[in-house]
Amino acid sequence: MSTPRSKTAYVVRPPTAVLTRGFDPRLSVGSARPAVFRSSTYVFSSPEAAERAFAIALGKARPADGESVDLIYSRLSHPNAEIAEDHLVPLEKGAESAAVFNSGMAAISTIFLTLCPPGSSFVYTVPLYGGTQHLIHQLLEPMGVKGIPVMAGDAGAMALAVAGARNLRLVLVESPANPTLVMTDIAAAAAAAGEHPDRPVVAVDNTFMGPTFQHPLVLGADLSVYSATKYLGGFSDMLGGAVLGRDPELLVRLRGTRAILGNILQPDEAWMLDGRLPTVGLRMNRQSKNAQRIAEALQGHPRLRRIIYPSLFTDPEQVRIRDAQCSYPGGILSLVLEGGKRAAFDFLRRLRIAKNAVSLGGVETLACHPATTTHSEMSDEELVRYGVGQDLVRISVGIEHWRDLLAEIRGALDES
Ligand SMILES: *Cc1c(COP(=O)(O)O)cnc(C)c1O
């Protein structure tokens, strides 16, 4: 896919489009890079233009092709959000439209609140990002929205759950799962949803592999969802979220909810995110190469019971899904240590280059113990069922030299 919906006159590939489309230097006194527009409100060019802008914002009218609509107020949209959105679209294969949010959770909760009214249901894969899990149990279920969990990677269970659901509005897939990296077949989930009479929206949390290595929209999903805090932002210095989709009308609905909730990405953060987008492919490629070299070099290490990393998958179904939907194995690996929690904690204590912190996707390497941190809300039974053992350490590999990281990891293992 190399044909972005270009506002430039010629068609270019994504790494070019992210630097050329959607931003007109003439609109910011000729600056080569976008300026920050911090204004909360915008001056209308005429009362008629104001009336027209409101009609379009409220969904009473649709903008004509090429029509320039006046901005209104920054909770609805602002130039830096629109510039970042225009630059996100070419990075996501198959995307026609984007919306930015002030965190990944803001993006995910906006999808739920837009699509799932009380009395409706949704299907979701488990294990799921902890914040999304909280949203489901503490907000959506008490509101009368029914969540139907399906084990990640189980295509048969997914098909059954979707086929049996009533008033089904959404299928939410997170793949690979965190921190076990179990992959769910996105095309199969989309096919199951496509056969359901309610035609639920299929959304994929693409934070771990996208937009560089996994393309849910090409596989039949309707929405690709991001914590932009992670790889898109890339430096562990901002929070953000993004949703991309094939159908611009669906994105219009999400932006409508965003305006009500007031969770649009703010101008400074949108400007920052926008500046990170041209390098997301470079960073992710380096991170994936580093992680692959480290994971493969550690294979067979006597202190490790297992290394969880996509290029080392052995389960035939997981290998099949990986090959069908991921172009590279990505920057996250999990180590399962001999010696349980004690060994995992000792390992984390010995790291110097890598920092013991949650989050992922930044240029610096981070390591954490999911069972006692990111996944600590889960019961012991759930932790076991989902494979999040006390002996598991998750590592988000950065762009440091991989030999330094490997030497540090080996040293920290060998001391135990
Ligand atoms: C971090 C993360 C989120 C939540 O994003 P925030 O930006 O922290 O709100 C959602 N899904 C996944 C997979 C994540 O890693």
The closest alpha carbon to 287, from 244, 228, 329, belongs to: 329
Ligand 1 centroid – CA 104 distance (Å): 5
Peptide bond into 142 cis (omega under 30): no
Please, are residues 182 and 157 in contact by the beta-carbon 8 Å criterion? no
At residue 200, the 3 state secondary structure works out as coil
Establish whether domains 92-279 and 281-414 are of one fold.
no
Tokens of 280: 């997301």
The rounded percent of the chain whose pLDDT value lies above 70 is 97
Give CA–CA dist 408/392, Å, rounded.
17
Q: Which atom of ligand 1 is nearest to the CA of 106?
A: 9
Q: What is the mean pLDDT of residues 242-246?
A: 98
Task: Say if residue 5's pLDDT is above 60.
Answer: no
Distance of CA 303 from the midpoint of ligand 1 (Å): 31
**Going by DSSP bridges, is the β-strand pair 121-126/168-174 parallel, antiparallel, or unpaired?**
parallel
Is there a cis peptide before residue 211, judged by omega within 30 degrees of 0? yes
Residue 6 has pLDDT above 80, yes or no: no
Is pLDDT at 155 greater than 60 in this prediction? yes
**Rounded to an integer, what is the distance from CA 173 to the centroid of its chain?**
11
Q: What distance lies between CA 219 and its chain's CA centroid? A: 16
- CB 105 less than 6 A from any atom of ligand 1: yes
Round to whole Å and give the CA distance between 244 and 223: 6
pLDDT of residue 416: 60
The CA-atom distances, in angstroms, between 29 and each of 33, 49, 230 are 11, 23, 32
Q: Residue 81: what pLDDT?
A: 98
CA-nearest residue, atom 8 of ligand 1: 104
Question: Which amino acid residue places its CA nearest to atom 5 of ligand 1?
Answer: 104
Cα dihedral angle (401, 404, 407, 411), rounded to 10 degrees? -130
More confident residue, 243 or 379: 243
Place 24 in a pLDDT band, splitting at 50, 70 and 90: confident
Beta bridge partner(s), residue 151: 126
Q: Is the dihedral of CA 87, 90, 92, 96 positive or negative?
A: positive
Looking up tokens 């999400």 gives 254
Q: Is the CB of residue 295 below 6 angstroms from any atom belonging to ligand 1?
A: no
Output the CA 108–ligand 1 centroid distance in Å: 9
Domain 92-279 falls in which CATH fold? Aspartate Aminotransferase; domain 2 (3.40.640)
Burial 74-92 (b: 16+ CB within 10 A, else e): bbbbbbbbbbbbbbbbbbb
Each residue's pLDDT tens digit, 78-122: 999 999 999 999 999 999 999 999 999 999 999 999 999 999 999
CB distance 405 to 397 below 8 Å = yes
Written as six digits, the tokens of 91 are 């990075």
- Candidate from 129, 276, 334 with most ligand 1 atoms within 8 A of CB, to mutate: 129
What separation in angstroms does the CA of 247 have from each of 28, 76, 120, 129, 258? 30, 19, 22, 26, 17
Band of the pLDDT at 1, cuts 50, 70, 90? very low
Residue 395 β-bridge partners = 333, 367
Å from CA of 10 to ligand 1 middle: 35
Q: Quick one: 281-414 is in which CATH superfamily?
A: Aspartate Aminotransferase, domain 1 (3.90.1150.10)
Q: What was the pLDDT predicted at 10?
A: 63
**204 phi and psi angles, rounded to 5 deg:** -120, 125
Residue 383's identity, in one-letter code, is L
User: Distance from the CA of 103 to the center of ligand 1, in angstroms?
Assistant: 8
The C-alpha atoms of residue 250 and residue 254 are separated, in whole angstroms, by 6
Model confidence at 224, pLDDT cuts 50, 70, 90, reads very high
Which pTM was predicted?
0.95
> Cα–Cα distance between 395 and 355 in angstroms, integer?
10
Residue ranges of domains in the chain: 92-279, 281-414
Q: Which atom of ligand 1 is nearest to the CA of 107?
A: 9
